[in-house]
Amino acid sequence: MSSVPVDHLQALGSATRYSYDTPTIKLLERFDNPFANASLNGAKASGIIKIKAPEFTSLCPLTGQPDFAVIKIKYLPDRWCVESKSLKLYLMAFRQFGEFHESCVCRICNDLVTLLEPQWLTVKGEFTPRGGIPFGPVAKFVRKHA
């Protein structure tokens, strides 16, 4: 049984409402970072979280043609971690949404930073080639320490 409180999570364990054209931060949920309380022999542990979403799709905003990508998210959490089902629903919401590769990656990064307030976070989109050219935009956030 988890010692992390999760009773506030809405998407996990409930009937799922799918949206394919409205990626919004409202779909994302978070839970307390389990690494924050992890210790072994008095030493505080920390951990990096890596997420790979291999079936990301969106639409070209000009042609309406589908774009396919592997989205890779990597972050050092502070207080929060992203809940995986809510992240899946959020990423699926791009499926019928028209936005350039760079904008999708930047939106995902900004929304996760807003939700999680991590130490640092990187989102990379590995898009399949269009016209023989693959694109791999990367958006990064690093918290500035005082």
- Which of 7, 32, 60, 111 is the catalytic position? 60
Token digits of residue 47: 């951990």
24 and 93 Cβ atoms separated by less than 8 Å? yes
Tokens of 139: 């958006």
- Per annotation, catalytic residue among 67, 81, 104, 111: 67
Torsion of the alpha carbons at 61, 64, 69 and 71, rounded to the nearest 10: 40
Is residue 108 a contact partner of residue 71, using CB atoms and an 8 Å limit? yes
Q: Is 104 a catalytic residue?
A: no
What token pair was written down for 93? 């919401």
Q: Reply yes or no on whether 109 is catalytic.
A: no
Residues with catalytic annotation? 60, 67
